[in-house]
Structure 1
Amino acid sequence: MATGAQSRGGGPLAQLLILAVLHVNFIALGLEPDFLYPLENVTIAQGRDAMFTCVVNNLGGYRVSGDSATARVAWIKADTKAILAIHEHVITNNARLSVTHNDYNTWTLNIRGVKREDRGQYMCQVNTDPMKMQTAFLEVVIPPDIIYEETSGDMMVPEGGSAKLVCKARGYPPPKILWRREDGGDIISRSGPQGKTKVTSLEGEIVNLTKVTRSEMGAYLCIAANGVPPSVSKRIMLHVHFHPLVQVPNQLVGAPTGTDVTLQCHVEASPKAINYWTRENGEMIITNDKYHMTEITSSTYSVQMRLVIRNIQRSDLGGYKCISKNSIGDAEGNIRLYEMELPYRKSRTEEESDAASEESNDVRSSLQGPLREGGNRVEDAGFLGGGGPSSSDSHRIIPCGFFLITALVHTVC
């Protein structure tokens, strides 16, 4: 049963027998060696391992013309014509090279830790007559690397001046340099034929900035890439120096006594300035129970100064100054604090009194209405001095209290 399975399935013993028969037939037929697959080009990053695989059929038992030795496979560096290895024996004095053979038809040339000088044409050769060979190219690529000694560092320019940013990189293929601002802002070019242009990125080793403004201050990134990961970058900080500028949103601030108030100043300065507050007489203000000072950073060169004055009294009214000083100059802003009267608000007793008065007026109005509109109009006419229908009606007595209604016409009581 086992013998039948081996004969049908082609077990190890059967495969060896087949190879032996083929080997004898190759010798008998005198078949020449030939390459089963072409040698493939290899592209590898520097420092990695590379290998070339050469598959040769009909090599075993083939006798070289005029020589009793069988044919051999050799590896040669074609551009230098240097023999690297024959069969499995390395000829060249390079410990990074080795050759492996699978004892049948495959030879592999291994190069460990590839270097730039390993780049070139490699040949797998069989010493037949005439010689047979096939070649492939080893391309060694190198990830980009910034050349720091040739690249700009952080720099400072005065506002309105010029700055030249340089970035150099090496690698293979030669890397391309791309410039961007770290904050995503525009790079402003004023030297081109189109005048002032704004771009989010710029290609090239050199960036020329002219008539630099404070808005162009910040970090610039030069990014080197050549398609071989990883890309690399360098951060270059551009400092633009100018004297302080103070802006006051509200120069006149009013607040009621007994309340808190906040005074504000906006300051732009580079290099960083020393900021403080004073009274109009020059007395410097310090943080205590009365005063609280803070600074809120708006950008790399601007801050917001805040002064909180608690529980304002009449002695706190008057002028205040926000002052900013750096190595280039100084500036100040002025704010005047005045007392603001609160709108008059009636007390509860006064509100109740006014409500009672309004209610009394409403009652009087309700009494006046019927007296004016009701009754005999003839009597009204007689009261006002007009003639009546009879003398008795004209001498009719009307209670004095009711004369309030017609007080605007006659004062009778």
Structure 2
Amino acid sequence: MKKQVRKSEAHLQAAPFFPVNFPQYCKSLVRNLKEGAAEDEENDENNARPDDNYPELTAVPYFMSPGSRNITVAVGQTAYLHCRVAQLIDTAKVSWIRKKDLHVLSSGLVVFASDQRFQVNHPEKSENWTLQIRYAQTRDSGIYECQVNTEPKIFMGYTLNVVESKATILGPEYVKTGSTINLTCVINQAHMSGLVYWYHNKDILAYEGPVTISTREERQRTVSHLTIREATPKNSGNYTC
């Protein structure tokens, strides 16, 4: 608006006298000022560029933080690879690619893999495009890419590790009647705390009475402790976890 005011002042200074029809002249001047301001506003909008530091202000798809992209699961578990894409336009598709053989596993919600263990989960109106692999096998380990077919194409890689879980039980083989049984189960995989169970012979042990079970996560493993107070002969047998 400042630029337009300066223009009107220059016009008035250049006029040697006021027009005969002064009211009509004022109306014309105001109309010209409004039209000039609208034209400048339109030019500003046309020349505006989105700030690269704020991708949410752009009109193209972009990846949101997916959390960890290095996923480790045990054989037989379900693997979830979470891909989050914001501002996905109608003409763009999210695809999952297996890098080791460049196999296109899916495009949108259509799954091309003949292996029924592969599935894509996409809740309606969400940014999540999750690749789900049920009953994961060691052969499923490798790099997977989440791709969006924009121009240029954008993609994000994920590393899946499928390992065979191994458990080792540490503790004494014999205890005296009335003493405390302390056994420790060490599993060579983290994030297993909710999946660890103790068995006495073929019966699962309950967390009650003299039995105490505590499980914790360590860097690359899971450790579970079994404690049985005041042991009796009926506590004899095989213990597994």
Give the TM-score normalised by the residue count of structure 1.
Answer: 0.27
Structure ranking higher on relative contact order (CA contacts 8 Å, 6+ apart):
2
Give the TM-score normalised by the residue count of structure 2.
Answer: 0.45
The structure with the largest strand share of the pair is 1
